[in-house]
A = this chain, B = another copy of it.
Amino acid sequence: MIPHKKLIGIDWGTSSLRGARWGDQGQVQESREFPRGILTVPPGQFEAVFNSLFGDWMQAPALCLISGMAGSRQGWQEAPYCPCPAGFAELGQHLLWLQPGRMALVPGLSCAGLDGLNTPDVMRGEEVQIFGALQWAGRDSATLVLPGTHSKWVQVQGGRVTHFQTFMTGEVFALMSQHSILGKTLDLGGAFDESVFIQGLAQSQQPGSLLHKLFAVRTLGLFERLSAAQLPSYLSGLLIGEELRTQADTGPVIVVGSQALTLRYTLALQHLGIPSQSLGEEATWAGLHTLASHLTNPA
Contact = CB atoms under 8 A, between A and B. Distances in A.
Nearest to A223: B120
Contacts of A138: none
A243 interface: yes
Contact of A209 (B167, B181, B219): B167
Contacts of A60: none
A220 B120 contact: yes
12 contacts: A115-B208, A120-B216, A120-B225, A122-B222, A150-B215, A171-B180, A175-B180, A208-B246, A209-B245, A210-B210, A211-B242, A212-B246
A203 interface: yes
A113 B175 CA distance: 25
Given A212-B246, A243-B209, A220 B167 contact: no
A206 interface: yes
A295 interface: no
Given A219-B120, A242-B210, A168 B150 contact: no
Interface residues of A, number: 43
A212 B165 contact: yes
A124 to B, nearest CB: 11
A169 B211 contact: yes
A215 B151 CA distance: 10
Contact of A180 (B168, B181, B206, B207): B168
Contacts of A116: 206
A191 interface: no
A297 interface: no
A167 B246 contact: no
Nearest to A206: B115
Interface in A116-173: 116-117, 119-122, 150-151, 165-169, 171-172
